[in-house]
Amino acid sequence: MSRESDFYLRRLHSLLGVIPVGLFVTQHLVVNHFATRGEEAFNNASNFMGNLPFVLFLEWFIIYIPLMFHAFYGVYIAFTAKNNVQRYGTFRNWMFMLQRVTGVFLVIFIAWHIYETRIQKALGAEVDYNMMANILDNPFMLAFYIAGVLSATFHLANGLWSFAVTWGIAQSPRSQKIVSYITILVFLVLSVIGVQALLAFA
């Protein structure tokens, strides 16, 4: 792959990670959080999202295709990256490595989550509160899903920092520090929303 092609693919990978994938992750966590208000509230929110006009078009072109590109190219980046935290154990080097680790884990987690929900729906199952409650009734699956949510919120929040630097939004050390604080807040808020939803199902 030429350096120019790699440059543009990495830019596209970065952009899709924020828009639309990052927006979808945020929306998905917020909808799931309706579980904290009870079964009916979650089912109503889930049904509303599932019955949007042109839902198949939205799912494929706003979620699945961008997500697949971001995931598969992200795996390529992860396995070709040179992690050097043992030599240079700086904060950003650790964030760089954790971004790659969580990315690879998320490919596994998201594939499993799609199998347990979307594929089961295609086979005739009802994707509702009871489905998630049955899945998360297993302590191992609850721990797996908590790890998945925390990986997703970290990957998104840290990816926002990388996006801001890559796209020239945060160039100075001061602006990068400010973005670091903002993204830590994003991670904490989204993590609380996501984990609260899982515990509500459980």
Residue 140 DSSP class: H
**The tokens of 15 are what?**
């952009």
Q: Rounded to whole angstroms, how far apart are CA atoms 186 and 25?
A: 12
The model's pTM is 0.93
Helix (H) or strand (E) holding 133: helix 129-136
Q: Mind listing the pLDDT tens digit for each residue in 127-173? A: 999 999 999 999 999 999 999 999 999 999 999 999 999 999 999 99
Q: What is the pLDDT of residues 7-62, one digit of tens each?
A: 899 999 999 999 999 999 999 999 999 999 999 999 999 999 988 888 889 899 99
For the structural domain made of 3-201, what CATH number should be given?
1.20.1300.10
CB 157 within 8 Å of CB 184: yes
User: Residue written as tokens 């929040």?
Assistant: 157
Q: What pLDDT was estimated at residue 83?
A: 66
What does the domain layout of the chain look like in residue ranges?
3-201
Q: What is d(CA 20, CA 194) in angstroms, rounded to the nearest whole number? A: 19
